[in-house]
Amino acid sequence: MTLATDSTIDRNQQLFDRARQVIPGGVNSPVRAFKAVGGTPRFIQRAQGAYFWDANGKRYIDYIGSWGPMILGHGHPAVVEAVQKAVLEGFSFGAPTEREVELAEAILERVPSMDMVRLVSSGTEAGMSAIRLARGATGRSKILKFEGCYHGHADALLVKAGSGLATFGNPTSAGVPPEVVQHTLVLEYNNIQQLEEAFALHGKELACLMIEPIAGNMNFVRASVPFMRRCRELCTQYGALFVFDEVMTGLRVALGSAQSVYARSIPGFEPDMTVLGKVIGGGMPLAAFGGKRAVMEQLAPLGPVYQAGTLSGNPVATACGLATLKEIGKPGFYEELGRKAQLLISGLQGAADKAGVDFCGDSEGGMFGFFLFKELPQNYAKVMTTDNARFNTLFHGLLDRGVYIAPALYEAGFMSAAHTDADIAETAAAAADVFKLLSK
Ligand code: PMP
């Protein structure tokens, strides 16, 4: 292809200019626009394994993996085959299929805290529906979330903390009337004292507490074990449903998801409801929410809580999800994925240490994060003290060297089964170069 070799033409820039004429900001999801980091977004032409290629034909090692779904890497042959077969059988029927039942069974087997699950098409839809169900099932209106956790862009969830504890949140987006978020309480992540005070004041009115157990929307911040234990105890004590948003962590940090990671430290630990997305669809639009039978049976057509979707349980998406689940269920899959994520973090740490740059990182299974700090942050306020300019230097330095990390400092990274130790060594070498710039 001539375009790929003609370095005078920047096809990414051309496409971005064209896109901005017809799509707001040139993108269909804001973070893709590189607004935080500046520069021209890369328009992706194709992907295979651990790599994708932009419109100029430049190759990148891909550490976003479509923001989590591509746990096997791109174009895994078994998944491609399943999708091709499904496409030939039909794109969408608007009537039930065996594959939906199979996928529901497969999800419940892996995340056994749920008795039943409903399939939808996006994490936003799943989170929004879980909140409605929690409210319907408890007959309560108030919900509790944490600053820095993202649960999709449903109105009631686009909220930041108010001016003090026990004040309800303020909308983070225009178009969300304050009345719509008046029932949403926002607290600091990992702050047990605030949590206890909030439950003492509002516990009996809370339909649910929703949490990202390992918050990937503030890069990578774990809920501490004592904090998680207290969340569980207080929800039980006050009759609020404990909702785990595992859209990102689900079947990503472990086959049993983040809840299985916490159950290692808190025996018998389970949330009441779980929200899933990303990995369960293997890159196709598919998400889910589920929980205990008594709660799930409140949903239409059985119960009074309405929820529906034309493309819910789509036959091509379920085929993609099922094929993905089959691969990730193979023995040793998560051990290897976790080993590689750790190898990456230690490689980056070594490079940063050598250059004298403050750095710390963490990972669980195939999800990782790192910060230009000496110590891992515990909450959103701390994450947001990151020096933007330094992060942007790191991001663009890596991008120039063919390594694509999330174009925002508050996003997690994702390892896939397709990444090799050689890819990781290449990444660490690129980082070593860039850290030299940061140490000056
Ligand atoms: N919850 C979490 C934890 C997420 O990370 C995301 C998306 N990144 C969502 C919900 C929303 O999912 P979607 O983008 O599929 O609507």
37 domain-assigned: yes
**Hey, which residues does 64 pair with through a beta bridge?**
none
pLDDT < 50: residue spans in the chain = 1-3
Going 102 to 103 to 109 to 114, the CA torsion angle's sign is: negative
150 pocket-lining for ligand 1 (C-beta < 6 Å): yes
With respect to residue 69, please indicate whether it lies within any of the assigned structural domains.
no
From 246, 242, 259, select the one nearest 295 (Cα to Cα). 242
* Alpha helix (H) residue ranges in 203-251: 225-238
Residue 245 catalytic? yes
CATH code of 425's domain? 3.90.1150.10
Q: Give me the catalytic one of 51, 60, 63, 150.
A: 150
Please report the pLDDT score of residue 1 as a whole number.
Answer: 46
CA 22 from centroid of its chain's CA atoms = 28
- Specify whether 287 is located in the same domain as 352: no
Residues 338 and 389 in one domain: yes
Instruction: Give the per-residue pLDDT at 2.
Output: 45
Computed from CA positions of residues 17, 19, 22, 23, in that sequence, does the dihedral angle turn out positive or negative? negative
Ligand 1 neighbour 314 (Cβ under 6 A): no
Domain count, the chain: 2
Q: Do 88 and 195 reside in the same domain of the chain?
A: yes
Residues 277 and 389 in one domain: no
Q: Is residue 338 part of a domain?
A: yes
Give the burial string for 117-129 (b: 16+ CB within 10 Å, else e): bbbbbbbbbbbbb
Residues 312 and 434 in one domain: no
Residues 200, 340, single domain; the answer is no
Q: Respond yes or no: is residue 358 known to be catalytic.
A: no
Cβ of 274 below 6 Å from ligand 1 = no
Q: Where are the alpha helices (DSSP H) in 217-331?
A: 225-238, 257-265, 293-296, 315-328
Q: Ligand 1 centre from 164 Cα, in Å?
A: 27
Of 31, 119, 124, the residue with max ligand 1 atoms within 8 A of its CB, to mutate for a pocket test, comes to: 124
Give the domain CATH number at 231: 3.40.640.10
Q: Is residue 260 in some structural domain?
A: yes
315 and 171: one domain? Answer: yes
Our answer on whether the CB atom of 272 is closer than 6 Å to any ligand 1 atom is no
Inter-CA distances, 209 with 47, 84, 206, 213, 231, Å: 38, 40, 7, 12, 8
Are 343 and 315 members of one domain?
Answer: no
Among 328, 347, 365, the domain boundary falls at: 328
- Cα(5) to centroid of ligand 1, in Å? 37
With CA atoms as reference, report the closest residue to 322 among 97, 28, 138, 142: 97
Which atom of ligand 1 is least distant from the CA of 149? 3
Local structure of 411: helix, strand or coil: coil
C-alpha distances out from residue 271 to 14, 40, 245, 262, 293, Å:
48, 41, 10, 10, 13
> Does ligand 1 come within 6 angstroms of the Cβ of 148?
no
Share of the chain above pLDDT 90, in %: 95
- Measured from the Cα of 277, ligand 1's closest atom is 15
Task: Tell me the whole-structure pTM to 2 decimals.
Answer: 0.96
Residue 16 lies in a domain: yes
The reply to whether ligand 1 has any atom less than 6 angstroms from the CB of 212 is yes
Same domain, 321 and 368: no
Do 204 and 296 belong to one domain? yes
How far apart are the C-alpha atoms of 112 and 49, rounded to whole Å?
30
Looking at 328, 346, 362, which one is the last position of a domain?
A: 328
Sign of CA dihedral 126, 341, 145, 111: positive
Using a 6 Å cutoff on CB, does residue 127 contact ligand 1?
yes
Last residue of a domain, one of 328, 343, 358: 328
Among the listed residues 245, 272, 362, 423, the single catalytic one is 245
The single residue of 278, 362, 380, 423 carrying the catalytic annotation is 278
Whether 301 and 153 map to the same domain: the answer is yes
Distance, in Å, from the CA atom of 172 to the CA atom of 186, rounded to the nearest integer, reads 12
Pair 250, 160 in one domain: yes
Q: What is the ipTM of this complex?
A: 0.99
Domain extent at residue 234? 77-328
